[in-house]
Amino acid sequence: MDSAENPIESTPRFAIIGYAARFPGAADAEEFWDVLREGRDAISEVPADRWDAEEFFDPEPGAPGKVVTRRAGFVEDVTGFDAPFFGMSTREVRLMDPQHRLLLETAWRAVEHSGIAPTDLAETNSGVFVGLATHDYLGMASDELTFPEIEAYMAIGTSNAAAAGRISYRLGLQGPSVAVDTACSSSLVAIHQACQALQLGECDLALAGGANVLLTPATMITFSHAHMLAPDGKCKTFDAAADGYVRGEGSGVIVIKRLEDAIRDGDRIRAVIRGSAINQDGASGGLTVPNGVAQQRVIADALKRAGVAPSEVGYLEAHGTGTSLGDPIEAQAAGAAYGIGRETNDPLLIGSAKTNIGHLEAAAGIAGVIKVILSLENELLPQHRNFQNPSPHIPWDRLPVEVVREARPWGRNGRPRIAGVSSFGFAGTNAHVILEEAPVVSRDAVEPPAPAGGRKFSILPLSARTPAALAQLADKYRAWLNAHPEAALADLCFTAGVGRAHLEHRAALVVNTREAAVELLSAVADDRPAPGLGRGESHDTPKTAWLFTGQGSQYPAWPGSCSRPSRCLPIL
């Protein structure tokens, strides 16, 4: 097998240049890192606005119409959506699956996080690859709507294909747009397909991720009857007490480019996808029974494509559902695949975000990828929760693996930090991705010439759809500046000017110090005037043309005759 010292020359690599997330206990990726870093449990009881947890609870497994647990991982205001921001009507959004809403908002934020204005992607060869698997909203709509109430928006509002297509439509992307359903491995398969499309030249930038939302008890009942769920609502991966997984919801999206393109374009690289692979269990012990040989094979395939030796991988973000059957199979497969050539004093460290936020099912893979990116950026491996007594079904003494019991620094040991991420679907589709820390890209720093008088002023532009949203944005910028004293003000101004969409309601702040920026941001947030602060509106209102056809308006040629401005008369 080729190693990192002797990589396969033709092996393509892909740069992750941005990401966004909304997971249990975390409104964004920064809060997700707080959950991981602090080792928090983001699982809660079922909110009252979902369903009556008490009505559907029964500790007896298999009780008809009941669930053995009251707990899962939920995000706040999961059905909320800023329809006017995306130019959508209330009527359309009413029949739009919350999974689609989450994905659209998360995709926009991920593009912004990459330093690209989402509006700049219009008419570009950019692709969308998203994983979804559940259909709670379709079931609810089918149950609650009478036949006369069903309308056209229901089709595009509940189709998985529309989840990807709507992102492409709203951002004007012209590359491939694909929805993937391989159950729990959906979003990791979506990432794999995005990399394949980039390699083949089918797109030059790709958005990849997934979403999952828990709206009804129906799927909970199904999984409860299948003995998949942990009654206490705790995912105890690799522990002796492992007795099932905990469902979770959320959405995550990453922005991917070919590595050489990202370096050429000066993008900030968050992590590198060295390689990926997918496969199928095939004929095994049962449709939903994990296949250890297939898991071992998919890891080996990903390593081969990455040109990475097993011993060079320091951490595995495991699928880790916390089941007494699945955990031993995964641990032994990982040990066999990653143990080749590994020194006894250098075990593979393993953990799973499912112990913090639950199993996000179709979005589980993207949650694991974003966890690894955050761990690489912060040089810390978070604690793997709920691990007290190692599972007796796992031969720990024969496996070169070690669970991350407590958070620990993630050192390099003289080589780049590399991690694997696994996702296994309950219908047998397995996926594995190899991630490496971002390369050190040397750039010649060019100091901009100082203005006359030596005063270095910058413009910090802000914009939003509404005045209220503009005030909220200013408050977020102010909080971010206060929380990141190391950030360069000039970089912030540059990103706000170049890497953000410029919307209707605007403010321009003339600043030369952090203190001045915070003061003017406070003025915008409080809606008060201040020296150095300019406000305005920019409405590109479309003009209306009137067509008086007289007799003959029934002919199809009339509407088309003025479809191009050059064919229309000047406005009188």
Listed residue (430, 505, 437, 425) closest to 470, CA to CA? 505
CA distances from 402 to 159, 309, 316, 332, 386 (A): 42, 19, 10, 12, 15
Tell me the C-alpha distance between 133 and 363, whole Å. Answer: 9
Looking at residue 551, what is its pLDDT?
62
Across the range 268-296, mean pLDDT stands at 92
Q: How large is the C-alpha radius of gyration of the chain?
A: 26
- The C-alpha atoms of residue 452 and residue 459 are separated, in whole angstroms, by 16
Q: Which H or E run includes 418?
A: strand 418-424
Which of 247, 249, 255, 208 is CA-nearest to residue 98? 249
Q: How far is CA 394 from CA 229, 324, 344, 351, in A?
A: 20, 10, 18, 15
Residue 4 phi, psi (nearest 5): -65, -25
Backbone angles phi, psi at 209, to 5 degrees: 175, -150
Lowest model confidence (mean pLDDT) among 213-222, 371-380, 554-563: 554-563
pLDDT digits (tens, 9 = 90+) for 449-486: 444 445 588 999 999 989 999 999 999 999 999 988 88
Residue 175 shares a structural domain with residue 214: yes
Is 203 part of any domain? yes
| Cβ-based neighbour number of residue 532 at 10 Å | 17
Q: Token pair for residue 62? A: 């298999």
- Contacts of residues 45-48 at CB distance under 8 Å and 24 or more positions apart, as own/partner, are 45/70, 45/71, 46/70, 46/71, 46/72, 46/74, 47/74
- Please indicate, yes or no, whether residues 204 and 294 belong to a single structural domain of this protein: yes
Distance (Å, whole) CA 87 – CA 14: 33
371 with 255, same domain? yes
Structure tokens at 466: 């509404």
In-domain check, residue 443: no
- Token pair, residue 20, equals 């966004």
**430 and 467 co-located in one domain:** no
Same domain, 305 and 209: yes
Which of the residue ranges 158-172, 247-261, 446-460 would you say has the lowest mean pLDDT?
A: 446-460
CA 85 from centroid of its chain's CA atoms? 20
Instruction: Kindly state whether residues 474 and 417 are assigned to the same domain.
Output: no
Q: Point out the domain boundary residue: 405, 437, 469.
A: 437
Q: Which two tokens stand for residue 147?
A: 């036949």
DSSP-derived pairing of the beta strands 348-351 and 315-317: parallel
Does the pLDDT of residue 569 top 50, yes or no? no
pLDDT of residue 30: 96
Are residues 137 and 199 located together in one domain of the fold?
yes
Does a structural domain hold residue 366?
yes
Q: Is residue 184 part of a domain?
A: yes
Whether pLDDT at 554 is above 60 = no
Domain that holds residue 279: 17-437
Q: Are residues 415 and 504 in the same domain?
A: no
Q: State mean pLDDT over 524-535.
A: 91
Could you tell me which residues come within 8 angstroms of residue 515 by beta carbon, excluding any fewer than 6 positions away?
none
Least confident interval from 14-18, 177-181, 512-516: 512-516
Judgement on whether residues 463 and 529 belong to the same structural domain of the protein: yes
User: In this predicted structure, what is the pLDDT of residue 550?
Assistant: 64
List Cα–Cα distances, 179 to 131, 172, 493, in angstroms: 6, 17, 36
Residue (of 25, 30, 28) closest to 40 by Cα position: 25
Q: Which DSSP category does 534 fall into? A: E
Q: Kindly state whether residues 493 and 418 are assigned to the same domain.
A: no
pLDDT tens-place string over residues 303-330 = 999 999 999 999 999 999 999 999 999 9
Please tell me the predicted confidence (pLDDT) of residue 436.
98
Summarize pLDDT for 95-135 with one digit per residue, the tens.
999 999 999 999 999 999 999 999 999 999 999 999 999 99
Q: How many angstroms separate the CA atoms of 483 and 33, rounded?
A: 15
Residue 2 has pLDDT above 60, yes or no: no
Strands 250-258 and 14-22: antiparallel
CB burial string 227-257: b at 16+ within 10 A, e below: ebbbbbbbbbbbbeebbbbbbbbbbbbbbbb
Residue 548 lies in a domain: no
Beta-bridge partner residues of 303: none
Q: What is the pLDDT of residue 567?
A: 43
pLDDT of residue 446: 42
Tokens coding 5: 């010292």
* Strands of 58-125, DSSP E: 71-72
Distance between CA atoms of residues 391 and 379, nearest Å: 28
Q: How far apart are the first and last CA of the chain?
A: 75
Tell me, what's the pLDDT at 11? 82
Mean pLDDT for all residues in the chain: 90
Split into its structural domains, the chain has a count of 2
Res. 509: pLDDT tops 70 = yes
Q: What is the pLDDT of residue 447?
A: 44
Biggest CA pair distance of the chain: 90
82 and 193 fall within a common domain: yes
Q: Residue 247's closest CA among 99, 354, 344?
A: 354
Q: Which of 201, 157, 202 is nearest to 177 (CA)?
A: 202
Confidence of residue 245 (pLDDT cuts 50, 70, 90): very high
CA 516, distance to chain mean position in Å, is 34
In a domain, 554, yes or no: no
For 104, the 3-state DSSP assignment is: helix
What are the residues facing 317 on neighbouring strands? 351, 421
Pairing verdict, β 315-317 and 418-424:
parallel
In whole angstroms, give the CA distance from residue 190 to residue 363.
Answer: 10
- Confidence class for position 549, pLDDT limits 50, 70, 90: low
pLDDT band at 386 (very low <50, low <70, confident <90, very high): very high
- 255 with 290, same domain: the answer is yes
CATH number at residue 507: 3.30.70.3290
Looking at residue 225, which CATH number applies to its domain? Answer: 3.40.47.10
